[in-house]
Amino acid sequence: MGVGIVVEDLNAWYGSTHTLQDINLHIPANHATALIGPSGCGKSTFVRCLNRMHETNPIARATGVVRMGELDVYRDASPVEIRRRVGMVFQRPNPFPTMSIYDNVVSGLKLNGFRNRRILDETCERSLKQAALWDEVKDDLKKKSGASLSGGQQQRLCIARALAVDPEVLLMDEPASALDPVSTSKIEDLIFQLKSQYTIVIVTHNMQQAARVAENTGFFLSGKLVEFDSTHKIFTNPRDKRTEDYITGRFG
Protein backbone atom coordinates (compact mmCIF):
# COMPACT_ATOMS: atom_id res chain seq x y z
CA MET A 1 0.00 0.00 0.00
CA GLY A 2 1.20 3.46 -0.80
CA VAL A 3 1.86 6.29 1.62
CA GLY A 4 1.27 9.99 1.25
CA ILE A 5 4.19 12.38 0.87
CA VAL A 6 4.42 15.74 2.60
CA VAL A 7 7.08 18.17 1.42
CA GLU A 8 7.88 21.27 3.45
CA ASP A 9 10.25 24.07 2.48
CA LEU A 10 12.32 21.89 0.20
CA ASN A 11 15.31 23.67 -1.32
CA ALA A 12 17.91 22.06 -3.56
CA TRP A 13 21.15 23.19 -5.12
CA TYR A 14 23.55 21.92 -7.77
CA GLY A 15 26.76 23.66 -6.86
CA SER A 16 25.70 27.29 -6.59
CA THR A 17 22.58 26.89 -8.74
CA HIS A 18 19.44 27.07 -6.65
CA THR A 19 17.40 24.43 -8.50
CA LEU A 20 14.41 24.12 -6.15
CA GLN A 21 13.08 26.99 -4.08
CA ASP A 22 10.77 26.57 -1.10
CA ILE A 23 8.63 23.72 -2.39
CA ASN A 24 5.61 22.90 -0.24
CA LEU A 25 3.44 20.08 -1.44
CA HIS A 26 1.16 17.28 -0.26
CA ILE A 27 1.07 14.22 -2.48
CA PRO A 28 -1.87 11.95 -1.57
CA ALA A 29 -1.43 8.19 -1.09
CA ASN A 30 -2.54 5.73 -3.79
CA HIS A 31 -3.04 8.37 -6.40
CA ALA A 32 -1.03 9.41 -9.43
CA THR A 33 0.41 12.90 -9.26
CA ALA A 34 1.83 14.51 -12.39
CA LEU A 35 4.52 17.17 -12.43
CA ILE A 36 4.70 19.32 -15.53
CA GLY A 37 6.79 22.28 -16.58
CA PRO A 38 9.39 23.33 -19.13
CA SER A 39 12.84 21.67 -19.30
CA GLY A 40 15.15 22.73 -16.51
CA CYS A 41 12.33 23.84 -14.21
CA GLY A 42 13.30 21.45 -11.41
CA LYS A 43 10.75 18.63 -11.81
CA SER A 44 13.40 15.93 -12.06
CA THR A 45 15.41 17.39 -9.19
CA PHE A 46 12.23 17.36 -7.13
CA VAL A 47 11.53 13.64 -7.61
CA ARG A 48 15.21 12.87 -7.05
CA CYS A 49 14.98 14.66 -3.71
CA LEU A 50 12.08 12.40 -2.71
CA ASN A 51 14.26 9.25 -2.72
CA ARG A 52 17.52 11.06 -1.99
CA MET A 53 19.01 10.22 -5.38
CA HIS A 54 19.75 13.93 -5.58
CA GLU A 55 22.64 13.56 -3.18
CA THR A 56 24.45 10.91 -5.26
CA ASN A 57 25.82 13.86 -7.19
CA PRO A 58 28.74 15.16 -5.11
CA ILE A 59 28.00 18.84 -5.79
CA ALA A 60 24.28 18.54 -4.97
CA ARG A 61 22.66 19.54 -1.68
CA ALA A 62 19.12 19.74 -0.31
CA THR A 63 17.40 21.17 2.77
CA GLY A 64 13.85 20.96 4.07
CA VAL A 65 11.53 18.21 5.19
CA VAL A 66 10.16 15.28 3.21
CA ARG A 67 7.81 12.93 5.07
CA MET A 68 6.55 9.64 3.68
CA GLY A 69 3.79 8.46 5.96
CA GLU A 70 5.42 8.48 9.39
CA LEU A 71 8.95 8.52 8.08
CA ASP A 72 11.08 11.66 7.91
CA VAL A 73 13.11 10.90 4.79
CA TYR A 74 16.07 13.13 5.58
CA ARG A 75 16.33 12.43 9.32
CA ASP A 76 15.03 8.97 10.20
CA ALA A 77 16.72 6.78 7.63
CA SER A 78 19.73 6.24 5.38
CA PRO A 79 19.43 6.90 1.65
CA VAL A 80 19.73 3.18 1.03
CA GLU A 81 16.71 2.40 3.24
CA ILE A 82 14.65 5.15 1.61
CA ARG A 83 15.42 3.91 -1.88
CA ARG A 84 14.27 0.42 -0.96
CA ARG A 85 10.86 1.82 -0.10
CA VAL A 86 10.67 4.18 -3.06
CA GLY A 87 10.93 2.71 -6.54
CA MET A 88 12.26 4.82 -9.36
CA VAL A 89 11.84 4.59 -13.13
CA PHE A 90 14.13 6.75 -15.22
CA GLN A 91 13.70 8.60 -18.49
CA ARG A 92 15.82 6.24 -20.56
CA PRO A 93 15.24 2.53 -19.96
CA ASN A 94 18.28 1.33 -18.00
CA PRO A 95 18.19 -2.45 -17.59
CA PHE A 96 21.42 -4.04 -16.34
CA PRO A 97 23.01 -5.03 -19.65
CA THR A 98 24.85 -8.10 -18.39
CA MET A 99 21.89 -9.62 -16.54
CA SER A 100 19.14 -11.86 -17.88
CA ILE A 101 15.54 -10.67 -17.82
CA TYR A 102 14.98 -12.71 -14.67
CA ASP A 103 18.04 -11.32 -12.91
CA ASN A 104 17.07 -7.79 -13.89
CA VAL A 105 13.65 -8.13 -12.28
CA VAL A 106 14.89 -9.61 -9.03
CA SER A 107 18.12 -7.59 -8.94
CA GLY A 108 16.82 -5.36 -6.15
CA LEU A 109 16.40 -8.45 -3.97
CA LYS A 110 19.48 -10.35 -5.11
CA LEU A 111 21.87 -7.42 -4.81
CA ASN A 112 20.62 -6.91 -1.29
CA GLY A 113 21.53 -10.46 -0.42
CA PHE A 114 18.19 -12.18 -0.81
CA ARG A 115 18.62 -15.76 -2.05
CA ASN A 116 15.42 -17.74 -1.51
CA ARG A 117 14.75 -19.25 -4.93
CA ARG A 118 11.04 -19.87 -4.55
CA ILE A 119 10.34 -16.32 -3.42
CA LEU A 120 12.58 -14.89 -6.15
CA ASP A 121 10.67 -16.90 -8.77
CA GLU A 122 7.33 -15.76 -7.41
CA THR A 123 8.44 -12.14 -7.21
CA CYS A 124 9.72 -12.25 -10.77
CA GLU A 125 6.43 -13.58 -12.11
CA ARG A 126 4.28 -11.21 -10.03
CA SER A 127 6.30 -8.12 -10.97
CA LEU A 128 6.42 -8.96 -14.67
CA LYS A 129 2.66 -9.52 -14.65
CA GLN A 130 2.11 -6.21 -12.87
CA ALA A 131 4.26 -4.53 -15.51
CA ALA A 132 2.30 -6.29 -18.29
CA LEU A 133 5.45 -7.88 -19.65
CA TRP A 134 5.06 -11.48 -18.47
CA ASP A 135 3.39 -12.87 -21.60
CA GLU A 136 6.04 -11.37 -23.86
CA VAL A 137 9.10 -12.65 -22.00
CA LYS A 138 8.05 -15.69 -19.94
CA ASP A 139 9.74 -18.12 -22.35
CA ASP A 140 13.18 -16.53 -22.26
CA LEU A 141 13.43 -15.22 -18.72
CA LYS A 142 16.91 -16.63 -18.20
CA LYS A 143 17.96 -16.98 -21.82
CA LYS A 144 17.88 -13.37 -22.94
CA SER A 145 19.65 -10.29 -21.67
CA GLY A 146 17.55 -7.39 -20.46
CA ALA A 147 19.22 -5.24 -23.08
CA SER A 148 17.95 -7.45 -25.91
CA LEU A 149 14.34 -6.30 -25.45
CA SER A 150 12.79 -3.41 -27.38
CA GLY A 151 12.81 0.06 -25.83
CA GLY A 152 9.19 -0.17 -24.65
CA GLN A 153 9.76 -3.64 -23.21
CA GLN A 154 12.92 -2.46 -21.49
CA GLN A 155 11.01 0.34 -19.80
CA ARG A 156 8.35 -2.11 -18.59
CA LEU A 157 11.19 -4.34 -17.41
CA CYS A 158 12.51 -1.39 -15.40
CA ILE A 159 9.04 -0.86 -13.93
CA ALA A 160 8.89 -4.56 -12.99
CA ARG A 161 12.33 -4.25 -11.41
CA ALA A 162 11.15 -1.26 -9.36
CA LEU A 163 7.99 -3.11 -8.29
CA ALA A 164 9.86 -6.26 -7.29
CA VAL A 165 11.24 -4.67 -4.13
CA ASP A 166 7.66 -3.93 -3.09
CA PRO A 167 7.90 -0.15 -2.77
CA GLU A 168 5.29 2.16 -1.28
CA VAL A 169 5.98 4.99 -3.69
CA LEU A 170 6.84 4.83 -7.38
CA LEU A 171 8.71 7.80 -8.89
CA MET A 172 8.68 8.03 -12.67
CA ASP A 173 10.90 10.58 -14.36
CA GLU A 174 9.48 11.02 -17.87
CA PRO A 175 9.04 7.26 -18.21
CA ALA A 176 7.61 7.39 -21.73
CA SER A 177 9.51 10.23 -23.33
CA ALA A 178 11.94 7.91 -25.13
CA LEU A 179 9.20 5.55 -26.34
CA ASP A 180 6.92 5.24 -29.35
CA PRO A 181 3.16 5.94 -29.01
CA VAL A 182 2.16 2.26 -28.63
CA SER A 183 4.65 1.67 -25.83
CA THR A 184 3.66 4.99 -24.28
CA SER A 185 0.01 3.99 -24.08
CA LYS A 186 1.01 0.65 -22.52
CA ILE A 187 2.98 2.51 -19.85
CA GLU A 188 0.03 4.82 -19.23
CA ASP A 189 -2.37 1.88 -18.86
CA LEU A 190 0.08 0.46 -16.40
CA ILE A 191 0.21 3.64 -14.32
CA PHE A 192 -3.56 3.63 -14.29
CA GLN A 193 -3.66 0.13 -12.82
CA LEU A 194 -0.76 0.57 -10.43
CA LYS A 195 -1.99 3.72 -8.75
CA SER A 196 -4.53 1.82 -6.68
CA GLN A 197 -1.64 0.09 -4.90
CA TYR A 198 1.18 2.62 -5.02
CA THR A 199 1.61 6.34 -4.65
CA ILE A 200 2.83 7.39 -8.07
CA VAL A 201 4.68 10.60 -8.90
CA ILE A 202 5.22 11.05 -12.62
CA VAL A 203 7.24 13.77 -14.30
CA THR A 204 6.10 14.40 -17.84
CA HIS A 205 6.50 16.80 -20.73
CA ASN A 206 3.35 15.50 -22.29
CA MET A 207 0.34 17.34 -20.93
CA GLN A 208 -2.19 14.93 -22.43
CA GLN A 209 -0.36 12.23 -20.53
CA ALA A 210 -0.70 14.15 -17.28
CA ALA A 211 -4.39 14.66 -18.00
CA ARG A 212 -4.90 10.97 -18.76
CA VAL A 213 -3.19 9.35 -15.81
CA ALA A 214 -3.04 11.78 -12.89
CA GLU A 215 -5.61 12.97 -10.37
CA ASN A 216 -3.41 15.86 -9.31
CA THR A 217 -0.97 17.98 -11.23
CA GLY A 218 1.75 20.37 -10.17
CA PHE A 219 3.22 23.02 -12.44
CA PHE A 220 6.90 23.89 -11.93
CA LEU A 221 8.60 26.94 -13.35
CA SER A 222 12.19 28.09 -12.71
CA GLY A 223 12.59 26.00 -9.57
CA LYS A 224 9.30 27.02 -7.99
CA LEU A 225 6.03 25.17 -7.67
CA VAL A 226 3.66 27.64 -9.33
CA GLU A 227 0.44 25.76 -8.86
CA PHE A 228 -0.72 22.44 -7.49
CA ASP A 229 -4.29 21.29 -7.82
CA SER A 230 -6.54 18.59 -9.22
CA THR A 231 -5.61 17.80 -12.80
CA HIS A 232 -9.06 18.85 -13.93
CA LYS A 233 -8.70 22.25 -12.30
CA ILE A 234 -5.20 22.83 -13.68
CA PHE A 235 -6.23 22.06 -17.22
CA THR A 236 -9.62 23.79 -17.28
CA ASN A 237 -9.38 26.67 -14.87
CA PRO A 238 -5.86 27.36 -13.58
CA ARG A 239 -5.45 30.03 -10.95
CA ASP A 240 -2.13 31.31 -12.15
CA LYS A 241 -1.63 33.11 -15.44
CA ARG A 242 1.73 31.35 -16.01
CA THR A 243 0.09 27.92 -15.71
CA GLU A 244 -2.52 28.92 -18.23
CA ASP A 245 0.13 30.20 -20.64
CA TYR A 246 2.07 26.97 -20.35
CA ILE A 247 -0.80 24.54 -20.81
CA THR A 248 -2.24 26.49 -23.74
CA GLY A 249 1.17 26.52 -25.40
CA ARG A 250 1.50 30.28 -25.27
CA PHE A 251 4.46 30.01 -22.99
CA GLY A 252 7.30 32.18 -24.21
129 sits in which H/E element: helix 117-130
30 lies in the binding site for other proteins (CB under 8 A): no
Between strands 60-68 and 224-230, the pairing is unpaired
Number of residues that bind other proteins (CB under 8 A): 32
**Interaction residues for other proteins, span 192-251 (CB under 8 A):** none
Nearer to other proteins, 54 or 67 (CB): 54
Chain mean position to CA 117: 28
| Among 9, 111, 189, 208, contact with other proteins (rule: CB under 8 A) | 111
What is the spatial distance between Cα 14 and Cα 145, in angstroms, rounded to a whole number?
Answer: 35
| Among 29, 132, 147, 178, contact with other proteins (rule: CB under 8 A) | 147
Nearer to other proteins, 94 or 185 (CB): 94
What is the spatial distance between Cα 93 and Cα 154, in angstroms, rounded to a whole number?
Answer: 6
| Among 68, 124, 162, 213, contact with other proteins (rule: CB under 8 A) | 162
Binding range to other proteins, per CB under 8 A, among 37-45, 139-147, 193-201, 212-220:
139-147
> DSSP characters for 206-237?
-HHHHHHH-SEEEEEETTEEEEEEEHHHHHHS
Give the per-residue contact string, 67-106, with other proteins (x = CB under 8 A; - = no): -------------xxxxxx-xx-x-x-xxxxx-x------
138 lies in the binding site for other proteins (CB under 8 A): no
Sheet holding 199-203, edge to edge: 86-89, 169-173, 199-203, 32-36, 216-221, 224-230
- Neighbour tally for 250: CB within 10 Å: 8
Residues that bind other proteins (CB under 8 A): 51, 53, 56, 80-85, 87-88, 90, 92, 94-98, 100, 107-108, 111-112, 143-145, 147-148, 158, 161-162, 165
